[in-house]
Structure 1
Amino acid sequence: MTKEELQMRESTAKYINRDLSWIEFNRRVLEEAQDASTPLLERIKFISIVSSNLDEFMSVRVAGLKEQVKAGYTRKDFTGYTPHGLLKRVMKRVGAMVSDQYKAYRDLTRQLAKEGIIFTTYEEMTQNQRKEMDHYYHDIVFPVLTPMAVDQSRPFPLVHSQSNYLAVVLHKEGDDPEEEPYFAIIQLPSNLSRCIQVPSRSKSKKQEFILLEDLIERHIHTLFSGYIPLAVNEFRLTRNADLSLNEEEAEDLLEEIEKELHRRRWGVPVRLEVQKGIHPYAMEMLQEEFEIGDDVLVIDGPVDLGFLMKFAMSLTGFDSLRYPRLEPVYPKEFLDCENNDRFAVIREKDVLVYHPYESFDAVNDFVYQAAHDPDVLAIKMTLYRVSGNSMLVRSLVRAAQAGKQVTVVVELKARFDEERNIAWARQLEKAGCHVVYGLVGLKTHAKITLVVRQENHMLRRYVHVGTGNYNDSTARLYTDIGLFTCHPVIGEDASALFNEITGYSDPHDWKAFSVAPTSLKQKLFHLIQREAEHASAGRPARIIAKMNSLSHQDMVDELYMASSAGVPIDLIVRGVCCLRPGVPGLSENVTVRSIVDRFLEHSRMVYFENGGEPEVWISSADWMTRNLTRRVELMVPVFDQNLREVLIQVLKLSLKDNVKARELKSTGQYDRVQPVEAIAPLRSQFEAQDIVSWKHLKRLGVE
């Protein structure tokens, strides 16, 4: 099939392939690094994000495709691809994207140099700078390096996934140059900075940096006395990182995951990145050892640009090259509460918090108050991804030590956070908390906290539900919604949800919640079909849905059905989208937008016009197969009319974005939304920031 025929097939297929759609998403991230209107150091961060995104994609999605190919699996997926055909297409697009990423990197380093931030080489340094760097190498770097030879008596050492190494080709002094060379590898120490600041030149305000691998290469002779280095080339291996657990037969899930994490170190090689110009003998040795075939990415620059995130964040004195600092405001509803009693505020009305514009401290303080309140009898909470220094965990420990009933559902299978969650689980258990590891075969992805409090000879339930993780670090970087309520129906459902997770309870007859995997998918189907019925009857109908990914085939088909019935559907999907909009007779009433900007769009919410009686729901779930069928997920209605209006405005603000929004075309390509001449540019994230800040300042009496 020719390139033109393949493009035609892709643009006319009913569905867009998930993995190809993901690559388009990472392309949009790369576009932010290429956007001249984005501050320079923020563009550097986006370059880093492209790398970290790609690492996960390769170690999970591409690894899965390779396993299917190896097993001889030839069945097409619902988008029409066999594993072999899709893998070939994916690797080609990844290679093109990485090439463009490094072009952007080289352009950005030139611009950084103009601003006085310079990546230098040993040869470009002054004599004094070289002397200082020689001292740094001998005092700091050399003692932690371990050269590992590969020969008949020393087999190839274990190469860790996504760690940087140097491949060294050597010739022994006095030997015949035609003899086969010697080979060794050196792991770059991960506990040393990849970017080393070089002492400033005399009277210069410029900041210069040398990469760790360049400094080691310059001093490589110190590691191999009696040998002549012929070539020093950087490489990096990515292994299959998916856990293969048999949960039903595991006697102790925590111990089983620890074993699997250990086995992950020997995962099947998936991707090999090598420095451009690598010595042929080094390439031969690496390909033979890793059995990687031709799936090698040749990198024209430093291998793995993930280090640029830490580099950009640690630079001092260049605030003009960053976005202005955003200081989240404390939610105004809790700001003036008497005696800091958040329970009193929540009894009066539901409270909505919009992160990162409003502070995650509100959540921390809610749990802190519960931990220290003598009238609180029990706290129940789910933890999926938690920050390294979590105030929430400290509060839960304090509550357990004070004799309260504390139950924590810790998801040990949260990908790449398994080790951290194991550590939290042990700390919580040691403090006396009841720690539950979730349900067999399911990940607990719902974000909910339940506080049970004794009040006037009765028990009252206070609940917090959110669209994002209980993580105060990511709450500064992700857009998410949190809802505080003591609505009795929500409280009743919250208790039932925890009982199902921790005990033996049949599926609950939910009054407010919709819970995956038992009822959420069918609830969404019902709500979508209801909109179609309204549209067919001439009643007001509309769907606005915001999520990270849409890839569940049945969900896409339901949206196609609603579109065909005349329902206007606006989707705000940050990442993967398998629905093809704008196809006559199928999806001409559907629009799909993606917003990639300063903050990671992470909130999940959906609006249904419902014949003139609007409903708004917030959720932990994307509309993906894994979320709807293999995870414990939660969707909750927003009962308060004023709060519904706030969320509707947030959704409509996203639909008005004409600066950072891209619109998905029926061809499968994303085009930037262009401002209409009569309409001023609107950047939804900046507008949201201004609205929240303005409300807060007005309440404080500040003009």
Structure 2
Amino acid sequence: MSFDQASYFNNRELSWIEFNDRVLEEARTKENPLLERLRFLGITQSNLDEFFNIRVASLHKMISVDYQGTDPSGLTPSAQLKGISEKTHEMVEKQYNTLTRSLLPKLEEHQIYLLTMADLSSKQHEYLDEYFHQKLYPVLTPMAVDVSRPFPFIANNTLNIALRISKAGTTGEKGEKSFATVQVPDVFPRVLRLPGADNAFILQEEVIKHYISELFVGFDIRETACFRVIRDMDMDVADEDASDLMKEIEQQLKKRERGKAMRLEIEADMSKHLRRRLVKELGLAEEDIYPVKGPIDLTFVSKLIKQVQGHDDLLYPAFEPYYPKAIRNKNLFTEIAKHDIFVDHPYDSFQPVVDFIKQSAEDEDVLAIKMTLYRVSSKSPIITYLKKAAENGKQVTVLVELKARFDEENNVHWAQELEKAGCHVIYGLVGLKTHCKLTLVVRREENGIRRYMHMATGNYNDVTARMYTDMGLFTANQEMGIDASNIFNMLSGFSEPPFFHKLVISPEGIRNFLMEQIDEEIANVKAGRKGHIQMKMNSLSDTKMIKKIYEASAAGVRVDLLIRGICNLRVGIPGVSENVTVHSIVGRFLEHTRIYCFYADGAERVFLSSADLMNRNLSRRVELLFPILQDNIRKQIIHIYHLMWADNSKTRILQADDTWKRIDRRGLGNLDVQEYLLDNRVNIADYLFEDDGVKKELPVKSKRQFIPIRKPE
């Protein structure tokens, strides 16, 4: 049976917009704390900006080279851009309706105000008058445009004010057409706290507009309106010569800011004259213009949230990640030598990962540390301990992925710092991003050399580990250790291992391995046995994997998919995907874990991975998939997956018409799986070991009623 029909696939970009709409839905959900709703709104804006920076820019590049091909859903680049424009304009309108009609009025009910100059008291006016003249005025630069002064370059994601001005006392068409711009400086906070109230704020651009005539002495201000440009920010780096890779990355970072304009946001009441001038100068089409009825660039809300005082009740309750007692205040090498150790972030603390590197740096018997770094925090403790390890005479090898999108500058900095400390820094393989999360520690012990590893689904980033759900495994498994050594030899040299014992890597290896597991499920069903596949990932867009899932469904295998973001697969196609159910959880934490489970005729195989089922992950990146071999950890992950599948609070289910619908909770108890895992993190984490013995049952204590949801018929 062929599964190649275009009608069997959703478009990747339009599916992403549906995901961002699910995030926006959280901003509109009254059950969420008010300031968290505001935060979700800001996230939709930053998501959308990056989408235009990269994905929309890529489509424009295809059109520029007259690419006539189609995606698996049958859409040309031009058709995709048309669909993106229609859906994004709808989303922007919904964003601002959410802000102005719902969130701002609700904030005012709690005496939290976002004011304009017209709303201010005389005392607040005096404060801003001094603020403008003492701080803002010296920094502002008026940019007039005329025959001798060309239209200035407008940098990506900068807020600007367009002006229509005329010579003082002049009238007529000539004076009205004079044009100027002023960039709102980002060296000062955009959200300004006002005196006279605990939580009264104003935006910097409102202040500048009020006083802007002082920048154009001798001119009359006919009109002011804010605008913002989003540009092509993708980097075109040729890394065939690794010796020049860092230099080229640094050069590309400088060039990136001057990419082609992709999107223009303007105030909705901007005149046709200013609008036409901006469209012409920026080389945009009408469908690239986004008029908004409110403050441009909604990411300002995160700055506002940080400044609100006395309203912890409008935020999610604070929590402290749990440090499992099996390894708390203990020598990690001793504990890992006894048994594998599992951590589930952010419910479990990221500190054991930091402590693993710290103890490796300080342990006299550790000979070498090898590690892959894709994204780390700006003040990474892991970098600190890697440098300390090198200073202590350990052989430290760190693969720093310089091409990690939007972290390039940060990673160049860390690569240079590590090299200064005496670490050996490598940059991966030509043409491939290294996205796997792997640490290998080589230790000298009484019985010889022993390898200790940490493998994970998420980055070695102590900041995002509090916001993203990810799983990690500490192990001293001998075969995995050999595989890990071979992976690092492959990354740093010319070694090409003929096979791996337990670990699976991409490119290609993970796709082939998962297809083999799916084939076994298909064979079991055809033999009259049960077949069941459970997978969780960020995105599903790889055409080959989708076809294989269709093949399994058509054969009668039940396929349950937890997919946070993009899903090119369609459900409910007769004879094709009737046995596939897709859930998406969007909640307090960003669901980032990748889990791949197969029933395997009752043996239930479980794998964790750094890879989503996207072509880039499976074909163009070095990714890692690792098995969970220890029985109690395997059962724990399956248990957590079942809890996620039973969520009926933050889950949406993909429908046959490609819409996403919430679960009807009538008659059901409420289960928000993320809150549930926060409530039970102590019990679930300590299920693993008690006096080195395995507990047989997972203890569950929760203030929430848990009623599993049956799979829809």
For the criterion TM > 0.5, the same-fold answer is yes
Please name the residue that 1:402 is paired with: 392
Alignment of 1:284-299 (within 5 A): 284-294=276-286, 295-299=288-292
Please name the residue that 1:5 is paired with: none
What's the % identity of the aligned pairs?
A: 44
Deviations 1:550-609 (CA, angstroms, capped at 9, x unpaired) = 000000000000111111110000000011112220011110000000000000011110
Matched, 1:320 2:310: no
Matched, 1:58 2:52: yes
SS at match of 2:71: coil
Matched, 1:189 2:220: no
1:191 shift after superposition? 2.0
Contact 1:149–1:185 (CA<8 Å) still a contact in 2? yes
Contact 1:597–1:685 (CA<8 Å) still a contact in 2? yes
Distance 1:689 1:477 in 2: 12
Distance 1:441 1:336 in 2: 43
Distance 1:538 1:690 in 2: 41
Please name the residue that 1:595 is paired with: 585
SS at match of 2:217: coil
Distance 2:77 2:508 in 1: 30
Please name the residue that 1:688 is paired with: 677
Contact 2:123–2:196 (CA<8 Å) still a contact in 1? no
1:38 to 32, 49, 56: 32
Contact 1:160–1:265 (CA<8 Å) still a contact in 2? yes
1:224 to 216, 221, 239: 216
Contact 1:380–1:406 (CA<8 Å) still a contact in 2? yes
1:336 shift after superposition? 4.6
Matched, 1:177 2:172: yes
Please name the residue that 1:8 is paired with: none
Matched, 1:268 2:263: no
SS at match of 2:480: helix
Distance 1:158 1:43 in 2: 35
1:182 shift after superposition? 2.1
Please name the residue that 2:120 is paired with: 125
Distance 2:193 2:446 in 1: 63
Stretch moving more, 415-424 or 530-539: 530-539
Distance 1:475 1:342 in 2: 20
Deviations 1:679-699 (CA, angstroms, capped at 9, x unpaired) = 311111111112213457999
Query: TM-score, normalization: structure 2?
Result: 0.94
SS at match of 1:16: coil
Matched, 1:15 2:25: no
1:251 shift after superposition? 4.4
1:385 shift after superposition? 0.6
1:228 shift after superposition? 1.1
Distance 1:249 1:74 in 2: 32
2:95 to 85, 96, 101: 101
1:156 shift after superposition? 1.8
Stretch moving more, 16-25 or 172-181: 172-181
The residue identity in structure 2 corresponding to 1:88 is K
Distance 2:294 2:301 in 1: 13
Matched, 1:421 2:411: yes
The residue identity in structure 2 corresponding to 1:320 is D
Deviations 1:507-544 (CA, angstroms, capped at 9, x unpaired) = 44111111000411100110111111111112232110
Please name the residue that 2:235 is paired with: 243
Structure 1 gaps of 5+ residues are 1-10
SS at match of 1:247: coil
Contact 2:324–2:682 (CA<8 Å) still a contact in 1? no
Distance 2:451 2:572 in 1: 46
Distance 1:515 1:640 in 2: 21
Stretch moving more, 230-239 or 153-162: 153-162
Distance 1:521 1:313 in 2: 43
Contact 1:197–1:208 (CA<8 Å) still a contact in 2? yes
Alignment of 1:328-477 (within 5 A): 328-337=321-330, 341-477=331-467
1:199 to 180, 186, 195: 195
Deviations 1:151-204 (CA, angstroms, capped at 9, x unpaired) = 222222221111111111111113333314322111111121111011015xxx
1:675 shift after superposition? 2.2
Distance 1:552 1:693 in 2: 37
Please name the residue that 1:674 is paired with: 664
SS at match of 2:162: strand
Matched, 1:581 2:577: no
Contact 1:16–1:580 (CA<8 Å) still a contact in 2? yes
Alignment of 1:561-576 (within 5 A): 561-576=551-566
SS at match of 1:248: coil
SS at match of 2:27: helix
SS at match of 2:327: helix
Alignment of 1:641-652 (within 5 A): 641-652=631-642
Please name the residue that 1:163 is paired with: 158
Deviations 1:662-693 (CA, angstroms, capped at 9, x unpaired) = 0001111100012252x311111111112213
Contact 1:550–1:573 (CA<8 Å) still a contact in 2? yes
Matched, 1:233 2:229: no
Matched, 1:655 2:645: yes
Alignment of 1:272-283 (within 5 A): 272-283=264-275
Deviations 1:127-159 (CA, angstroms, capped at 9, x unpaired) = 111111111111121122111222222222221
Contact 1:507–1:518 (CA<8 Å) still a contact in 2? no
Query: TM-score, normalization: structure 1?
Result: 0.95
Contact 1:166–1:235 (CA<8 Å) still a contact in 2? yes
Contact 1:40–1:108 (CA<8 Å) still a contact in 2? yes
Count of residues in correspondence between the two structures: 683
Over the aligned positions, Cα root-mean-square deviation in angstroms equals 1.6
Stretch moving more, 261-270 or 619-628: 261-270
Stretch moving more, 112-121 or 305-314: 305-314
1:635 shift after superposition? 0.2
Structure 2 gaps of 5+ residues are 692-700, 702-713
Quickly say closer, same or farther: Cα 1:418–1:214, change in 2 above 3 A: same
Contact 1:241–1:267 (CA<8 Å) still a contact in 2? yes
Distance 1:157 1:665 in 2: 48
SS at match of 1:490: helix
Please name the residue that 2:147 is paired with: 152
Matched, 1:615 2:605: yes
Quickly say closer, same or farther: Cα 1:372–1:251, change in 2 above 3 A: closer
Contact 1:368–1:395 (CA<8 Å) still a contact in 2? yes
SS at match of 1:252: helix
SS at match of 2:240: helix
Contact 1:534–1:540 (CA<8 Å) still a contact in 2? yes
Distance 2:14 2:574 in 1: 23
1:272 shift after superposition? 0.8
1:305 shift after superposition? 0.3
